[in-house]
Structure 1
Amino acid sequence: MTAGRGVQHSEMFPLLHTDRENTLELFQIWLNLPQKNKLVPPHFKMLWHEEIPIAKLQGGTIKVIAGNYDDYKALPPAPDSWAADLDNDVAIWNIHILANQSVKLPMAKHGTLRTIYFYEGNTLRIMDETVMPNHGIEADASKPMTIKAIEKDAYLLVLQGRPINEPVEKIRSVCYEYPKGIGTSHG
C-alpha cells in the first residue's frame, strides 16, 4: 500500500473455513514516503499467501514479502513507495527456522539497516549472541550472518532498508471496536 495523499483502511478478513478455526498472523509495517511522494494517489494491493515467494532451505523457509532473497524476488512493491526503488535495499522476510537448524542471511548493500524480531520459539543464536523470544535486535547487515534455532522451531521477521532520513508527520489515529471482534477500523 502507498498511503500517499490519504487512505482509510480496515483490517477485515474473510472467513476461509466454516468448520474449523480461522487463524491469522498479521504484521502491519508502514514505511515513510520521501517528500516528493507524500501526495501521490493512494494505492492498495492485497498480498495473498499463495502468491508470496517462499525460499525452501535445508534449515527452514523464508517468505519473501518485500525485496529479494537470493534468486527469490518478492511481488512488485506499491508504486511510489520507498521499497519501489531497489537502491533503498528494502526487504521484509518472514523466516521459519527448524529446531536446531540454521539459515544464512546475505550481506546487504552499504548503509542498509537490518532489524530482526524474534516472535516465536525458544532461543536463537545469531552469530555469537543469544536472543530470547519477543525481542528485536539491530543486526550488522554489512556481512552475511547465520541464525540458528535452539531446541524448538523459531519464527522471526527481518526488516531492512536504507534510512529515508526524512521527518515523519504525526497523524491522528482513531480505533473503533466492533462487536464480537469482527474487526477494527483506523482513520
Structure 2
Amino acid sequence: MRSIKKIHKAEYRPIADLVTYSPMPTRSLDHLDPFIFLNHHGFQTYPAQNRGLPFGPHPHRGMETVTFITAGDIVHMDSSGHESVICQGGVQYMTAGSGLIHSEVSSTDFKKDGGDLEILQLWLNLPADKKMIAPNYKGLQKAEIPTFELDGGKVKVQQLFGKWNETEGAFEGNFPITLSTIYLEKGGNFEKSIPKDENIFFYIVRGGLTVNGEEVNFRNLVEFENHAGAINVEANEDAILILGHALPFNEPMVAQGPFVMNTQEQIREAYDDYQAGKFGTWTH
C-alpha cells in the first residue's frame, strides 16, 4: 500500500452567505504540485429569491480551473465569448493561460426557486512554457462525461482527464494528468496503483471512506508518500471522492490573488496587463 503521509482537514472560509471549506492551501498544506488550490462550496440549501453564487467578473492568468457541480448549477461567462449553464453532475474546465475575465454565478431559475448547492473548484498550475497559452473553456453535462463502473456497479467513475480501465477522459489537458470523480455506494471498494513519482490529489467530498485501512471522513484531503504501492478505498457510507494524480512540475511558483506565475515580476506584469485591458473586454 502507498503510505498516508497526513490527513488535512478543510478549513472553514465562508464567502458572504456561501458555506466554503478549503483543504489547500492551509497552514498544514500549501499545495500538491501541480494541484494548487481547492474551494468546496456547500453542501447547503438556498431559499427561493436568493442571490446565488457571488463570483462576478474577475481575472485569471497562468493557471486552470476544474469545477465540479455536485448539486445546483453554475453559469459560466468569460471574455473569450464562452457561455454555458452546467447542472448537477457536470464539470467545467477552463484554461486561463495568458489571461481572461470570467464570472461564475447561479442561473436565473436557481436564484428564483432556490435549492441544494454544492460546487467544488480545483486550481491546476500550468508549466512555465504554457503559462501564456491562449485561454480556453469547455463545459460538459453529466451525460456527456465518460463513466465506467467498478465493484459490480457499487463504484461509478466519471473519467475527466487521462485514462483508467480503457476509458479516456472527457477533457484533454495541457500536461499529463489523470483526474476522476468517483461515486461510491456503501460497501463499494476499488484499488488503484499510481506511479510513485506522481503526486496524488485525494479529497472526500461527501461520506466516509476507509483508505488503506484508515477511516477518513468528508471534507478531508489525504496526502500520500511518494513510493510504490496501491491505494485501497472502501466506502463506509455513500460517498463522493475526487481523485487525481500527475507528475510535479518542480518549478518556482508565485501565486497572488487570481494569478499564478513563476516570478514576482510576472505577477506585476499580470496586474499591469489586466489594468491595461489586455485580458479582453467584459461585454456580458
TM-score, with normalisation over the residues of structure 2? Answer: 0.51
Alpha-carbon distance, 1:171 to partner: 3.4
What is aligned with 1:143?
Answer: 229
Q: Specify which of 236, 251, 255 is matched with residue 170 of structure 1.
A: 255
Aligned residues of 1:16 and 1:22 also touching (Cα < 8 A): no
What is aligned with 2:181?
Answer: 94
* Mapping 1:21-170, distance limit 5 Å: 23-57=116-150, 58=152, 59-78=154-173, 81-82=174-175, 88=176, 90-105=177-192, 107-121=193-207, 123-139=208-224, 142-150=228-236, 152-170=237-255
Aligned residues of 1:15 and 1:22 also touching (Cα < 8 A): no
Aligned residues of 1:55 and 1:69 also touching (Cα < 8 A): no
> More strand by proportion, 1 or 2?
2
**Partner Cα distance (1:110, 1:166) in 2:** 19
Residue type at the aligned position of 1:128: G
**Partner Cα distance (1:170, 1:160) in 2:** 21
CA RMSD of aligned residues (A): 2.5
What is aligned with 1:179?
Answer: none
**Partner Cα distance (1:128, 1:73) in 2:** 29
Residue type at the aligned position of 1:133: F
Instruction: Classify the secondary structure of the residue corresponding to 1:163.
Output: coil
Number of equivalences:
162
Aligned residues of 2:160 and 2:171 also touching (Cα < 8 A): no
Which range moves more in the overlay, 19-28 or 44-53? 19-28
Equivalent pairs: percent with the same residue? Answer: 25
1:83-123 Cα distance to aligned partner (Å, 9 max, x none): xxxxx3x1211111111221222x223411112111211x3
Residue type at the aligned position of 1:62: V
Residue type at the aligned position of 1:115: F
Q: Which runs of no fewer than 5 residues in structure 1 stay unpaired?
A: 83-87, 174-187
TM-score, with normalisation over the residues of structure 1? Answer: 0.74
Instruction: Classify the secondary structure of the residue corresponding to 2:232.
Output: strand
